[in-house]
Amino acid sequence: MARIIGGIGASHSPTIGFALDTKKQDDPAWKPIFEGFAVVRDWVKRNDIDVLFMIYNDHITSFFFDHYSAFALGVDDTYAPADEGGGPRKVPPARGHAALARHIGRALVADEFDMAFFQGKPLDHGCLSPLSMMGDETGPWPGSIVPLQVGVLQMPIPSARRCYKLGQSLRKAIQSFPEDLRVAVMATGGLSHQVHGERAGFLNEAWDQEFLGLLETAPEKLVEKRLAEYATLGGMEGSEVIMWLIMRGALSDTVTKVHSATYAPSVANIATVVFEDQGDQPSEQALEAYRAHIGYQMAGAEALKGTYPFTLERSLDNFRINDFLHRLVEPAHRERFLNDFAALADEYALTAEERDLIEGRKWIEMIRRGVSFFVLEKMAAVIGVSNPQVYASMRGETLEEFMKTRKVAIQYSVAGGAKAEQIDRR
């Protein structure tokens, strides 16, 4: 089973990545940043950590206000560095542990956390600044990550208590993963800082030290604080330290602090801290009970013939073709789909199998492979095929045969305008 070895807290200021990329290791003004992360890096290496569960917030790079989630879990197997305006950092992509991520996702939903899931999105400095410090002169850190993006930049945001409770569920989720993995939970962000308004530049190092002390020995006192208190004490942006309560909630009640350091050179108090977990592993009986809890809602669905649940695993395995067909909502993409399919498929690196499935209108084969019906519905609308025609094809029937099984023989589509009128005339 997977084990939580400890928890890490680390600031994620762009200052950190900038210092690394511009080789400030020996500059006295920057050296304390590297010294703190060196201890964390050595602890990760010494404890043979396989996976870092990375808790961070994106800075309106990959996640924008058109769809802003409280908790978004990465379920990908690779994560590229994001372009935040001046080009992406020259760091290698991070390797994701997709199987662990899917297990955690199912567990958190089973525990009634309304999770969002992402893939195909790059990581900005919220995750990459501290993660890039885990490598050394020989190369990047060789382990894998599971990223959790917490929406803390648009109100309302999760409370400190909600974050702590999620961490408690995260502990059970990780421990119930059947593969032998050594996991560290790494919370990023903070400490005190504010980067907007007339209060920009605010710091409160006394509060930062109090926060770190309470985090170690009395996290329940931090759980009780309101967001307005965090903003007052640590700055509006500094209130993102509620994410550290996810990490602390994932640890046992008793931890051993093996490292803590802060350094406030400019507009953010840059911190690193390491806690080693002192809790016992749950019994195999308890783990089996929790795994049954995770799978309870869908238990038995596998026996439904002709039914293909769209799981996180199927989503990842078929992201490319689903993404290609989803983009048919874009007028330019669907125009090229109809008139320049080969070149468009080349641009999206579709495999020969994927091209054959699409060009052959192989509806049931695409469903079995892991293509979502709701992108097939869009494809059907583009090529002028009604929904009932697709249903009939998937059942191995003619349209006439399918219509005989309906109360009313009607045709329809998600198409609009002329396409809808074309289907209606049939």
Distance from first CA to last CA of the chain, Å, rounded? 58
Cis check for the bond before 156: say yes or no (omega within 30 of 0): yes
Amino acid letter, 327: R
CB atoms within 10 A of CB 286: 13
Instruction: Indicate the DSSP class of residue 122.
Output: -
Contact 279, 5 (CB under 8 A): no
Task: Check 67, 125, 196, 333 and give the catalytic one.
Answer: 125
Active site residue 333: no
CB atoms within 10 A of CB 339: 9
How far is residue 413's CA from residue 46's CA, in Å, rounded to a whole number? Answer: 59
Task: Check 12, 97, 103, 193 and give the catalytic one.
Answer: 193
Active site residue 125: yes
How far is residue 175's CA from residue 51's CA, in Å, rounded to a whole number? Answer: 13
Token digits for 263? 């350094």
Q: Which residues, in sequence order, are CB contacts of 63 under 8 Å at separation 6+?
A: 69, 72, 121, 149, 151
Q: Is 139 helix (H, G, I), strand (E, B) or coil?
A: strand
Amino acid letter, 398: T
Contact 237, 13 (CB under 8 A): no
Q: Is 277 helix (H, G, I), strand (E, B) or coil?
A: strand
CA atoms within 13 A on the CB side of 418: 2
Instruction: Indicate the DSSP class of residue 198.
Output: T
How far is residue 130's CA from residue 37's CA, in Å, rounded to a whole number? Answer: 8
Could you give the angle at the alpha carbon of 274 between the alpha carbons of 139 and 172, nearest 5°?
100
Q: Can you list the pairs that 329-334 forms with residues at least 24 positions away whose Cβ atoms lie under 8 Å?
A: 329/378, 334/382
Helix axes 14-21, 31-46, angle to 10 degrees: 90
Active site residue ranges: 125, 193
